[in-house]
Structure 1
Amino acid sequence: MNTAPVILITGAARRVGAQIARHVHEAGANVVLHYRNSAREAQALADTLNAARPDSAWLVSGDLAADGVPEAVIAQTMAQAGRLDGLVNNASSFFPTPLGQIDLAAWHDLIGSNLKGPLFLSQAAAAPLRERRGAIVNIVDIHAERPLRHYPLYCAAKAGLLGLTRALALELAPQVRVNGVSPGPVAWPEDGQFPPEERAQIVRHTLLGREGTPADIAGMVRFLMLDAPYVTGQIIAVDGGRSARL
């Protein structure tokens, strides 16, 4: 019987989510990799992890903003892995919504991926996580507390996730720990939202004077998930000190 903890990571096919999966897997956990559109990348990552340790990675898919999908993802996780010890709410949409241009499509996308999905996933996962005395880690954002111009809806969604993190820590105590990680300049968007000079300016306002890496975020998630039994209700910035100047 496999006694390794099982951790579900949303948005795990690429970038920060994939690095989180690699980190917790390397630490001995089995992983359930959620994806929405990146099936090929998710399958390749699962194949790599299973080659390193057989029967240690599974796949689930779905749009977490859609009604009923979070519950289905948890049901699929339990059917495949048989247990759930940890949930990492990493999946996220990110794009600008200047005031005056916000529409319902943007609302459903940004609120759905950044707040609705994590809420209903956590609710569906509460019973198995309580049984395992598990943990939830939410990927928040430093702009949940210090807004980014032209991104009011994204910032509001992440502010909601920050509040949800602390509320869930209260609701699920003492069996389940709930914490958040707030990244700074790590893994820039791939669609050119931040041109080179704007990126350079952001880095100049970072106390450590450099960008972070997905491994920086993954290391903190691994710590909160597996090595912090007396930490709950906390939001930890992993931002090179950028938020100290905002």
Structure 2
Amino acid sequence: MSASAPVVLVTGAARRIGAAIARRLHADGYAVALHCHRSRDDADALAAELDARRSGSTRVLQGDLADAAAVPTLVESTVAHFGRLDALVNNAAAFAPTAFQDTDAAAFDALMATNARAPFLLAQAAAPHLRAARGAIVSIGDLYAERPRADLVAYAASKAALLGLTRGLAVALAPEVRVNAVSPGAILWPEDGANAAQQSRILEATPLARLGSAEEIADAVAWLLRGGFTTGEVLRLDGGRSL
């Protein structure tokens, strides 16, 4: 792997949207640090797939983003292995639908820790390296950050915090580092299933009348990483559902 290749750290990279982002950025020439939490086998398989295309171009990093002390080590390990860091993609998220009255402090804190605090701590650790590279951060938000549901109050608040963090970091890290977010609508049905009625309601509320794809999110991330005059923006990819 060339030492001049740009390096990206992608959290939650083992599966679904995160894996699509990792594949796209790898195809664009990045070396990719693949973070995972529980999906180590999937992360290792993805690393093997990408390394078969370009030897030595990945590194798998496992860690719990809710563990504040462990978060900065993801950046440290990436830089120790590749010698640089050019981009950070905050994709990993905790998701826990819970009725408002049933959400206790521990559940609220767990969502905030992974969805908002971890990206903040990663940005702190990554900032010197990203400044040196004149790099970029892209975070994956959610439609529900701006259009919350009754059973997603805490989750929506954590994603709204992430969008606020995006704008704050865009100011704090300028002019060397650009910081943006992608706010997806319905992209993939949950793995535990969404019944036909739920799917129908979601598609009826989406003017483009279809799901988005993980690859469309990855395309948006790739564009934001190279969009040199864009910072502090939230790019909505929701098929018009936020209208």
Q: Which amino acid in structure 2 is aligned with residue 128 of structure 1?
A: H
In 2, Cα distance between the equivalents of 1:136 and 1:3?
Answer: 19
Secondary structure of residue in 2 paired with 1:243? coil
Q: Which residue of 2 aligns with 1:15?
A: 16
In 2, Cα distance between the equivalents of 1:127 and 1:196?
Answer: 48
Q: Which residue of 2 aligns with 1:48?
A: 49
1:57-96 matches, cutoff 5 A: 57-96=58-97
TM-score (norm 2): 0.97
In 2, Cα distance between the equivalents of 1:155 and 1:25?
Answer: 31
Q: Which amino acid in structure 1 is aligned with residue 237 of structure 2?
A: V
In 1, Cα distance between the equivalents of 2:189 and 2:93?
Answer: 13
**Residue 160, structure 1, aligned to residue 184, structure 2:** no
In 2, Cα distance between the equivalents of 1:86 and 1:64?
Answer: 18
1:150-186 alpha-carbon deviations (Å, 9 max, x no partner): 1000000000000000000000000000000000001
TM-score (norm 1): 0.96
Q: Which residue of 2 aligns with 1:187?
A: 188
**Residue 225, structure 1, aligned to residue 214, structure 2:** no
How far did residue 69 of structure 1 move? Answer: 1.2
How far did residue 187 of structure 1 move? Answer: 1.4
Q: Which amino acid in structure 2 is aligned with residue 178 of structure 1?
A: V
In 2, Cα distance between the equivalents of 1:108 and 1:80?
Answer: 32
Q: Which amino acid in structure 2 is aligned with residue 198 of structure 1?
A: Q
Whether contact under 8 Å (1:140, 1:181) holds in the other structure is yes
How far did residue 215 of structure 1 move? Answer: 0.5
Identity of aligned residues (%): 48
1:55-91 alpha-carbon deviations (Å, 9 max, x no partner): 1111111001112111111111111111000000000
How far did residue 142 of structure 1 move? Answer: 1.3
Whether contact under 8 Å (1:65, 1:108) holds in the other structure is no
Q: Which residue of 2 aligns with 1:149?
A: 150
Q: Which amino acid in structure 2 is aligned with residue 201 of structure 1?
A: R
How far did residue 214 of structure 1 move? Answer: 0.4
In 1, Cα distance between the equivalents of 2:3 and 2:73?
Answer: 23
Compute the RMSD of aligned alpha carbons. 1.0
How far did residue 4 of structure 1 move? Answer: 0.9
- Equivalent pairs counted in the alignment come to 242
1:166-185 matches, cutoff 5 A: 166-185=167-186
**Residue 196, structure 1, aligned to residue 196, structure 2:** yes
**Residue 214, structure 1, aligned to residue 220, structure 2:** no
What stretches of structure 2 of length at least 5 have no aligned partner? Answer: none
How far did residue 95 of structure 1 move? Answer: 1.7
How far did residue 201 of structure 1 move? Answer: 0.7
In 2, Cα distance between the equivalents of 1:4 and 1:28?
Answer: 7
Secondary structure of residue in 2 paired with 1:198? helix
Q: Greater CA deviation, 69-78 or 82-91?
A: 69-78
In 2, Cα distance between the equivalents of 1:162 and 1:102?
Answer: 22
Q: Which amino acid in structure 2 is aligned with residue 213 of structure 1?
A: S
In 2, Cα distance between the equivalents of 1:63 and 1:210?
Answer: 33
How far did residue 108 of structure 1 move? Answer: 2.7
Q: Which amino acid in structure 2 is aligned with residue 100 of structure 1?
A: Q
Q: Which amino acid in structure 2 is aligned with residue 242 of structure 1?
A: R
Name segments (4+ residues, structure 1) moved above 3 Å: none
How far did residue 191 of structure 1 move? Answer: 2.2
Secondary structure of residue in 1 paired with 2:101? coil
